């Protein structure tokens, strides 16, 4: 859906980062870097374009073995996940991705 409609694609990088944080897609080192990137974007210290550039750089520079079975996020009490996203309109979808990202960051930071 994101690739067929540019309005949905607006939040693609935020969705990927949030999903990877929540599903144990990063080892501990990359988890911490990704968390800081998400925090910087959500607190307004990065514009959307700056966030996208840093995310792309982060994704290009990471080593292929970023996932770690020794580091997990299963101990977190997730309230929202990717299935919480409404897809009926781009506005709902983008708002839900933003809310999900905020929730993931809040859960991680309060752990």
Residue 64: inside a domain: yes
Residue 1: inside a domain: no
Enclosing H/E stretch for 4: none
pLDDT digits (tens, 9 = 90+) for 71-84: 555 678 889 999 99
How is 46-97 classified by DSSP, letter by letter? S-HHHHHHHHHHHHHHS-S----TTS--TTS--S--GGG---SSHHHHHHHH
The whole-model pTM stands at 0.84
Quote the number of domains for the chain.
1
Residue 92: inside a domain: yes
pLDDT at 64 (0 to 100): 46
Residue 73: inside a domain: yes
pLDDT digits (tens, 9 = 90+) for 25-71: 888 888 888 999 999 999 999 998 999 898 888 777 665 445 555 55
Q: Which domain, by its residues, includes 14?
A: 6-109
pLDDT at 89 (0 to 100): 97
Residue 91: inside a domain: yes
Distance CA 1, CA 36 (A): 28
């Amino acid at each position: 859906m994101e690739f067929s409609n540019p309005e949905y694609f607006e939040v693609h990088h935020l969705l990927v980062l949030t999903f990877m944080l929540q599903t144990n897609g990063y080892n501990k080192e990359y988890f911490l870097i990704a968390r800081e990137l998400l925090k910087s974007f959500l607190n307004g210290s990065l514009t959307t374009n700056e966030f996208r550039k840093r995310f792309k750089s982060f994704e290009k520079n990471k080593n292929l073995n970023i996932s770690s079975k020794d580091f997990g996020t299963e101990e977190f009490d997730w309230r929202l996940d990717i299935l919480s996203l409404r897809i009926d309109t781009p506005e709902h979808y983008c708002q839900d991705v933003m809310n999900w990202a905020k929730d993931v960051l809040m859960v991680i930071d309060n752990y």
